[in-house]
């Protein structure tokens, strides 16, 4: 039976605690879609810095932008952005062995079997290139090419300046009626009868009352954990990295259209190219590497002058046991943290917001909505977790204690089933509402060195000559598309060059 809370009545006042990407994305979406029926207040303190390193996205961000009417060119210019066709995983399979997980589709499937089955047979017949060469996005990334085309377009995402993105979203939210309140929350006031949050008190003495509270306070979980004691599931036994170092550097070359993820001795390094700078970081496991060693490793493997001091960020991988508890919804880092390997953090912010919009409790908060929201979030996050664990576990690296641990650690049963199924049969499956599709799983499993032992018998309906022709036609189509594309940098200059980039170009040209 659905039970309505004792704070009955329509939800009219929404309070977002915390700014940054999570807070302002929440405020921007709610104010744009529901602004005429609700009041949106965002509380943030200038004295509390945001993490601000979530600078790589995945294609799903475009759907949110389209939903709330954000112009792509204006957005990319404002955030000093570039385009992203995938992630280059370097030395993950083994030292010196690289592959790209791209956003596109690879080859051509048939009704009974995915393209990987045809590829496996063609490889056995010595008539195939590497799996990724049959994907336009991957080949375009390798050749540093990019364009947005109306037909036969590329699937893409963005590299962004997180601070500039939050500022862009703030302006958008405020233009749609959201109100920002400056201040530090010093107390969360609960209704004694229901346990719901009634208001938050600020350091200034101001009290902000709300019907629904969104916790975007970051790792602290000021509302969802400190006030409501929701609980946290620790996943560090599957995802052992617990620290990150972040630093920005000047750009020394034209930006490439992909993120670089470079495996190191006890973790991995990211490189995210913007128009005028590069975001760098090292994710590592504190059991195998000290903070000082990590800083040294990162600084030894970056290019260009550093623009800020390296920052150490500590985290525990895992998820909040409930993302929606009473009248509080945790969005962003307050809801948990898987880790940034596949750029899923901003996606999960977006999914939480859009799911809330789809289930918005306009007539009052009911338990059925809370339970369904939490069930859907848990299912989606579990599948993302498995996909990230896959990268660490399926590896040939044995050169350090960290990688030996990852390759031998116990993994979730759900992931083990996927690995076994693919190894034995070449088959993959997509769980409903799952973020990563079949092609993503195939790209990463093959990239990490897991090649199927068998293929679907429908492939044998093709003769060797027909299969060779089939593979060659796909290859020719990919090469034909990529050949027509301009360089990534050329496209940016004509489509969305940022003010910072134009100013630097003028200085360089005298």
Return the DSSP state at 496: -
Which residues, including other chains, have CB under 8 Å from residue 369's CB and lie 6 or more apart? 324, 359, 361
Measured between alpha carbons, how far is 162 from 15 in angstroms, rounded to an integer?
Answer: 22
∠76-81-84 over CA atoms, to 5°?
Answer: 105
Measured between alpha carbons, how far is 270 from 275 in angstroms, rounded to an integer?
Answer: 16
Which residues, including other chains, have CB under 8 Å from residue 443's CB and lie 6 or more apart? 99, 100, 101, 102, 106, 131, 132, 135
Q: Report the sign of the C-alpha dihedral through residues 428, 429, 433, 439, in that order.
A: positive
| DSSP string for 326-356 | TTEEE-GGGGEE--STTS-HHHHHHHHHHHH
Longest dimension (CA), the chain: 79
Catalytic site residue from 84, 121, 145, 322: 84
Which residues, including other chains, have CB under 8 Å from residue 434's CB and lie 6 or more apart? 380, 383
- What residues does 275 pair with on adjacent strands? none
Give strand ranges (E) for 296-447: 311-314, 318-320, 324-325, 328-330, 336-337
Is 84 catalytic? The answer is: yes
The size of the chain, in residues, is 510
Query: Please, is 284 exposed, middle or buried when counting C-beta atoms within 10 Å of its C-beta (0-12, 13-18, 19+)?
Result: buried
Measured between alpha carbons, how far is 141 from 133 in angstroms, rounded to an integer?
Answer: 11
CB atoms within 10 A of CB 412: 15
∠344-415-424 over CA atoms, to 5°?
Answer: 125
Measured between alpha carbons, how far is 357 from 276 in angstroms, rounded to an integer?
Answer: 36
Measured between alpha carbons, how far is 368 from 374 in angstroms, rounded to an integer?
Answer: 10
* Cβ contact 261:267 at 8 Å: no
Which residues, including other chains, have CB under 8 Å from residue 508's CB and lie 6 or more apart? none
Quick one: residue 304, left, alpha or beta (phi over 0 = left, psi -120 to 50 = alpha)?
Answer: left
- What residues does 279 pair with on adjacent strands? 248, 272
Q: So which residues are the catalytic ones?
A: 84
């Amino acid at each position: 039976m659905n039970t309505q809370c004792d704070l009955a009545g329509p939800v009219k006042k929404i309070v977002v605690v915390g700014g940054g990407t999570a807070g302002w994305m929440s405020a921007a979406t709610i104010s744009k879609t529901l602004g005429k029926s609700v009041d949106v207040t965002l509380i943030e303190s200038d004295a509390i810095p945001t993490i601000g390193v979530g600078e790589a996205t995945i294609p799903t961000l475009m759907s949110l932008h389209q939903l709330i009417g954000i112009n792509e060119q204006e957005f990319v210019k404002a955030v000093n952005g570039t385009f992203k066709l995938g992630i280059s995983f370097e030395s993950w399979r083994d030292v010196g062995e690289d592959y790209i997980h791209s956003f596109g589709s690879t080859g051509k499937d048939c009704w009974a079997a995915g393209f990987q089955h045809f590829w496996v047979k063609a490889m056995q017949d010595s008539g195939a290139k590497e799996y990724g060469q049959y994907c336009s996005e991957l080949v375009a990334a390798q050749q540093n090419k990019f364009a947005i085309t109306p037909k036969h377009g590329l699937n893409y995402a963005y590299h962004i300046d997180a601070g500039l993105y939050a500022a862009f979203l703030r302006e958008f939210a405020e233009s749609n009626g959201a109100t920002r309140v400056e201040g530090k929350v010093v107390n969360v006031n609960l209704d004694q009868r229901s346990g719901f949050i009634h208001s938050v008190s600020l350091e200034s003495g101001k009290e902000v009352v709300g019907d629904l509270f969104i916790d975007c306070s970051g790792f602290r979980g000021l509302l969802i954990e400190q006030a409501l004691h929701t609980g946290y599931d620790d996943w560090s036994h599957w995802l052992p990295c617990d620290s990150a170092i972040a630093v920005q550097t000047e750009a020394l070359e034209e930006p490439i259209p992909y993120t670089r993820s470079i495996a190191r001795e006890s973790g991995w390094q990211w490189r995210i190219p913007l128009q005028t700078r590069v975001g760098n970081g090292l994710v590592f496991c504190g059991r195998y590497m000290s903070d000082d060693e990590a800083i040294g490793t990162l600084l030894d493997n970056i290019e260009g002058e550093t623009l800020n001091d390296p920052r150490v960020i500590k985290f525990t991988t895992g998820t909040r046991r409930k993302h929606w508890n009473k009248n509080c919804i945790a969005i962003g880092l307050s809801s948990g943290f898987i880790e940034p390997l596949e750029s899923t953090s901003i996606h999960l912010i977006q999914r939480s917001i859009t799911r809330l919009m789809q289930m918005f409790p306009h007539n009052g908060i009911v338990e059925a909505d809370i339970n369904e929201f939490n069930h859907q979030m848990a299912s989606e996050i579990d599948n993302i977790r498995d996909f990230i664990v896959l990268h660490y576990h399926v590896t040939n690296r044995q050169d350090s204690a960290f990688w030996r641990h990852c390759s031998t650690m116990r993994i979730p049963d759900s992931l083990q089933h996927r690995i076994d199924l693919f190894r034995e049969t070449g088959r993959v499956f997509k769980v409903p509402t799952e973020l990563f599709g079949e092609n993503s799983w195939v790209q990463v499993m093959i990239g990490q060195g897991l090649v199927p032992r068998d293929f679907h018998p429908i492939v044998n309906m093709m003769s060797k000559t027909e299969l060779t022709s089939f593979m060659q036609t796909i290859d020719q189509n990919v090469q034909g598309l990529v050949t027509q594309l301009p360089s990534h940098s050329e496209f940016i200059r004509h489509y969305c060059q940022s003010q910072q980039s134009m100013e630097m170009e003028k200085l360089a040209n005298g």
